[in-house]
Amino acid sequence: MKNALAQADHAVEALRAQRQDLYYPHFHLAPAAGWINDPNGLVCINGVYHAFYQHHPYDQNWGPMHWGHATSRDLAHWQHQPIALAPGDDYDKDGCFSGCAVDDNGLLTLLYTGHVWLGKAGDDDQVREVQCLATSEDGIHFVKHGPVLLPPEGIQHFRDPKVWRAGDCWWMVVGAKENGLGQARLYHSSDLRNWQFDRVLSGAQTLNQGFMWECPDFFPLGEKQVLLFSPQGLAAQGYRNRNRFQSGYLLGHWQPGEDFGVTQPFCELDSGHDFYAPQSFTAADGRRMLFAWMDMWESPMPSKAHGWAGALTLPRELTLATDGNVLMNPARELTALRGQQHSFAAVTLSNQRQALDDEVQELALTLNLVNSNAERYGITIGKAARLYVDNQAHRLVLERFSEEPGLCGCRSVPLPEGDELSLRVFIDRSSLEVFVNQGVACLTSRIYPADGQRGVSLFAEGGQAQFAASQGWELESIWD
């Protein structure tokens, strides 16, 4: 693997020398160059956070998957590391697909899917997928140990292992497709190398629940257990399931040796245009955290013309609300990136616009819902997007604009109950992340504003709107 890794690192360096940075993120994890999709192997070990990711180092398009790698000591500032895994062995010759990382008594251990095309490359009807193991003594260089779990008879799509320890036992949940329906399969092991099937944790009963469940994750949150996954094949229903593929969760109860008792049906985790393959991990202090891929399959990606494609979301903290829903908020560590602060006085706008500041990248804003009668009111980001209350539909809408029709359109959530709407908005060079009322809803979308057209303005149309005093910050780069 050493030669393959050296070639991949060299390819990234060559692409990096030509990369254009108009859209390259300032405070989101992205590859130095090339392609990125799913976050993998998120773990804190020996005081260091590791974020691996699906990576094609040879160009800006999806290709044979490698594992890119970045590290951090504070979840705010990061360093690129050499590529961790490269395909090439018989069991992973066509890709080191998604997986996870665990701390095995101080030994950083990766579990991932080895992918092989049995027919023509790209033919999903003829694949073999096995779960593989690799270890590292120094946290940077890895040794492959080959497959540790083979697919069940009759199942080809069998991928994305997520492993955790409960008591004296390791557990693994794996995404699969059986008889054309998605499922999450549960296994257990005493040594990470010999795995026994436990049960199907949950699965689709009909096609409208997904033909494949990718990137499953299973973890406790509050008094509940969360099964997080990305079902492929859900049909759009009104405002729901508008993207090519979705990501969301089931809530319920589980103990080792028992079935997963679902108490709340599938709920999308993020309502924006670009959110897929989320994976959780545990922070050094025990908080449940998460990254996701901040893009969507089959969507236009203007950054490809600049030598790279894809990014991860900000790290997010998960908690459970009293009503049973999962709340998602930006990691508190991100306040370390705050630089120059901007303060804005309370204002009432009537069919007006008011510029805030071109340099604001994080904005904390409160809108008065009771005393605002405008048809639409909120903020604009240059000519690329606007985030607004639609008083007629009674929804919060994220709308984006582009000369590329595939990058236009709206995503929205119902307005929460209450007199005020609290928004925390992060605006990077090519993305927008919105956290509503301390995490009751989130909207994440890629946007592509022209250079010099990222200024933030307040607006009210068809009436008046009240905006409370607000604060904004310029943010430092995450790259050390």
Give the pairing type, strands 96-104 and 431-436.
Answer: unpaired
* Lookup: tokens for 208: 């409208």
Whole-angstrom distance, CA of residue 48 vs CA of residue 388: 39
Torsion angle (degrees, nearest 10) of CA 78, 83, 84, 86? 150
* Lookup: tokens for 248: 């969301």
Residue whose tokens read 């946290």? 139
State the DSSP H helix or E strand holding residue 409, giving kind and residue range, or none if neither. strand 409-414
State the greatest distance between any 2 C-alpha atoms of the chain, in Å, as a whole number: 67
Q: How far, rounded to the nearest angstrom, does the alpha carbon of residue 28 sit from its chain's CA centroid?
A: 11
* Start-to-end CA span in the chain (Å): 28
Beta strands across the sheet bearing 195-203: 158-166, 169-178, 181-189, 195-203
* Lookup: tokens for 58: 């040879």
Whole-angstrom distance, CA of residue 337 vs CA of residue 26: 11
Whole-angstrom distance, CA of residue 88 vs CA of residue 90: 7
Torsion angle (degrees, nearest 10) of CA 337, 299, 229, 386? 50
Amino acid occupying residue 15: L
Q: Which of 311, 294, 363, 317 is nearest to 479 (CA)?
A: 311
Q: Phi and psi (nearest 5°) for 188?
A: -140, 160
Choose, from 38, 92, 274, 428, the residue flagged as catalytic. 38
Residue whose tokens read 């497709």? 177
Residue whose tokens read 């500041």? 357
Q: Which of 157, 12, 24 is nearest to 84 (CA)?
A: 12
Q: Phi and psi (nearest 5°) for 233?
A: 105, 10
Number of Cβ within 10 Å of residue 201's Cβ equals 25
38 is catalytic: yes
Contact 328, 428 (CB under 8 A): no
Contact 434, 443 (CB under 8 A): yes
* Lookup: tokens for 236: 């759009």
Q: Give the active site residues.
A: 38
